[in-house]
């Protein structure tokens, strides 16, 4: 289930991004907005641009480079954004589409992928735990933002099934829980396949607190601990195997710090983990690129940059997380470009949202 082998190139086209001065002005007022509910969100035009580029009217978030597929991850990401921007209509459409097309398992978890180009749109009923996590978190946020308390019950059901079906004991530390990437396919003869980027600490903590599933809080902490251990000898990789002897590369999975692990520093700063050693090590490695580029694949052991991209979303993550890590003032966050593919566009909007709410000192420069 290597569903994020993202392309490093995209279709040619002019970016529809906002100008730097407009973006800076918008972000400067975002903190005030957070204290004054009812006002239009200052980043609303960027959300509109993302929505026009990547959300079908049906409510399906489209990942164009991946066969125009839709994933539980994308639906969850989109609904988290819609709850942030107060877009009740987009939130409802994404939720309705997800319920009709991905909520087809016998439990509360979602099938991980929907494909438009085959008769059987969902060929694999396996779930993806990060997609379930973000979807449940979005329901939780939507329950409060849109005054829909019934969504909380659904979030609780998903949290319960995540704990029941996708949490296992770490082989080298009995009693320490880890989050499996899915219910099926990630337990090996010698251990567990683990993806560090599936750990979004803030989402896990808030879901644990709201639903009473305290195991999710433990999963967040164990993930942070594992990433700290990994950072003592290199960078956090995309995938690894945890065995009784400890973590090691997993056969047939990327051990580079690539398109999966790109999310790790963003999720760390979003979760208030600015002092985490993984953030420090990853931002230092990401800085080894020319201006206008972002490191997208790094050798996790040597720190050598293997691939770069000009997509603004990857550059935005690197700029924000570097600024936060060094406690700097001003960050070279590029203007938002909805014409970039779904994945970097979504990370870009997340980065701008996180900066505007939590890191005013990292205003774009």
Residue 178's pLDDT is what?
A: 98
Beta-strand relationship, 191-194 and 177-179:
unpaired
State the average pLDDT for the chain.
91
Residue 114's pLDDT is what?
A: 98
Percent of the chain whose pLDDT exceeds 70 = 90
Residue 25's pLDDT is what?
A: 44
**89 pLDDT above the threshold of 60:** yes
**15 pLDDT above the threshold of 90:** no
| In contact, 54 and 346? CB cutoff 8 Å | yes
Residue 27's pLDDT is what?
A: 43
- The least confident of 30-39, 134-143, 165-174, 337-346 is 30-39
Residue 206's pLDDT is what?
A: 98
| In contact, 103 and 94? CB cutoff 8 Å | no
CA dist 222 and 333 (Å) reads 31
Residue 16's pLDDT is what?
A: 32
Which residue has 């983990």 as its token pair? 273
**162-170, long-range: CB within 8 Å, 24+ apart, which pairs?**
162/109, 162/129, 162/132, 162/133, 162/136, 162/213, 162/216, 163/213, 163/215, 163/216, 165/107, 165/109, 165/127, 166/109, 166/127, 166/129, 166/132, 167/215, 167/219, 168/192, 170/222, 170/226, 170/242
Confidence tier at 17 by pLDDT (50, 70, 90):
very low
* Residue 344 structure tokens: 């970097």
- The least confident of 3-17, 22-36, 174-188, 208-222 is 3-17
Confidence tier at 67 by pLDDT (50, 70, 90):
very high
The 3-state secondary structure of the chain reads CCCCCCCCCCCCCCCCCCCHHHHHHHHHCHHHHHCCCCCCCCCHHHHHHHHHHHECCCCCECECCCCCEEEHHHHHHHHHHHHHHCCHHHHHHHHHHHHHHCCCCCCCCCCCEECCCCCCCCCCCCCCHHHHHHHHHHHHHHHHHCCCCHHHHHHHHHHHHHHHHHEEECCCCCCCEEECCCCCCCECCCEEEECHHHCCHHHHHHHHHHHCCCHHHHHHHHHHHHHHHHHCCCCCCCCEEEECCEEECCCCCCCCECCCCCHHHHHHHHCCCCCCHHHHHHHHHHCCCCCCCEEEEECCCCCCEEEEECCHHHHHHHHHHHHHHCCCCCECCCCCCCCCCHHHHHHHHHHHHHHHHHCHHHCEC
In sequence order, the β-bridge partners of residue 167 are 179
Residue 151's pLDDT is what?
A: 98
Kindly provide the b/e burial profile for residues 218-237, where b requires at least 16 CB atoms within 10 angstroms of the residue's own CB. bbbebbbebbeebbeebbbb
Beta-strand relationship, 246-248 and 294-298:
unpaired
CA dist 58 and 92 (Å) reads 10
Residue 13's pLDDT is what?
A: 28
**4 pLDDT above the threshold of 60:** no
Q: What is the CA radius of gyration of the chain?
A: 19
| In contact, 247 and 230? CB cutoff 8 Å | yes
Residue 31's pLDDT is what?
A: 43
**38 pLDDT above the threshold of 90:** no
Percent of the chain whose pLDDT exceeds 90 = 89
Section 327-337 average pLDDT: 96
**5 pLDDT above the threshold of 90:** no
Confidence tier at 39 by pLDDT (50, 70, 90):
confident
| In contact, 341 and 65? CB cutoff 8 Å | yes
Section 356-360 average pLDDT: 96
Please classify residue 298 by burial: count the beta carbons closer than 10 Å to its beta carbon, then call 0-12 exposed, 13-18 middle and 19+ buried.
buried
CA dist 351 and 288 (Å) reads 20
CA dist 352 and 295 (Å) reads 19
* Residue 13 structure tokens: 């086209």
**pLDDT tens, 114-163?**
999 999 999 999 999 999 999 999 999 999 999 999 999 999 999 999 99
Residue 21's pLDDT is what?
A: 40
Section 259-278 average pLDDT: 98
**pLDDT tens, 275-308?**
999 999 999 999 999 999 999 999 999 999 999 9
**pLDDT tens, 176-219?**
999 999 999 999 999 999 999 999 999 999 999 999 999 999 99
**34 pLDDT above the threshold of 80:** no
* Residue 303 structure tokens: 């720190």
**339 pLDDT above the threshold of 90:** yes
Residue 343's pLDDT is what?
A: 98
């Amino acid at each position: 289930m290597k569903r994020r082998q993202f392309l490093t190139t995209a279709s040619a086209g002019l970016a529809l991004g906002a100008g730097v001065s407009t973006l800076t002005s918008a972000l400067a007022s975002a903190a005030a907005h957070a204290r004054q509910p009812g006002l239009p969100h200052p980043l609303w035009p960027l959300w509109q641009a993302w929505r026009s580029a990547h959300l079908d009217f049906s409510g399906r978030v489209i990942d164009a480079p991946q066969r125009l597929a839709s994933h539980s991850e994308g639906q969850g990401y989109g609904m988290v954004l819609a709850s942030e921007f107060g877009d009740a209509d987009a939130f409802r459409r994404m939720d309705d589409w997800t319920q009709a097309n991905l909520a087809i398992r016998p439990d509360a978890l979602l099938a991980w992928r929907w494909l438009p180009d085959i008769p059987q749109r969902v060929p694999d009923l396996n779930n993806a735990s990060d997609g379930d996590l973000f979807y449940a978190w979005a329901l939780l946020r939507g329950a409060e933002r849109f005054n829909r308390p019934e969504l909380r019950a659904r979030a609780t059901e998903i949290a319960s099934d995540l704990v029941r079906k996708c949490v296992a004991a770490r082989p080298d530390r009995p009693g320490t829980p880890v989050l499996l990437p899915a219910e099926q396919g990630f337990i090996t003869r010698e251990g567990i396949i683990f993806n560090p980027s599936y750990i979004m600490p803030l989402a896990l903590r808030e879901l644990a607190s709201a639903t009473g599933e305290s195991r999710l809080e433990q999963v967040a902490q164990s993930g942070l601990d594992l990433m700290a251990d990994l950072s003592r000898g290199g960078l956090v990789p995309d995938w690894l195997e945890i065995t009784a002897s400890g973590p090691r590369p997993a056969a047939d999975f990327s051990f580079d710090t690539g398109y999966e692990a790109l999310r790790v520093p963003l999720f760390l700063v979003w979760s208030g983990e600015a002092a985490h050693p993984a953030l420090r090590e990853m931002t230092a490695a990401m800085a080894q690129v020319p201006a206008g580029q972002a490191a997208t694949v790094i050798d996790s052991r040597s720190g050598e940059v293997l691939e770069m991209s000009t997509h603004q979303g990857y550059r935005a993550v690197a700029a924000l997380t570097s600024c936060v890590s060094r406690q700097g003032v001003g960050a070279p966050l590029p203007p938002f470009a909805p014409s970039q593919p779904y994945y970097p566009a979504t990370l870009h909007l997340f980065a701008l949202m996180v900066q505007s709410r939590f890191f005013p000192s990292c205003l774009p420069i």
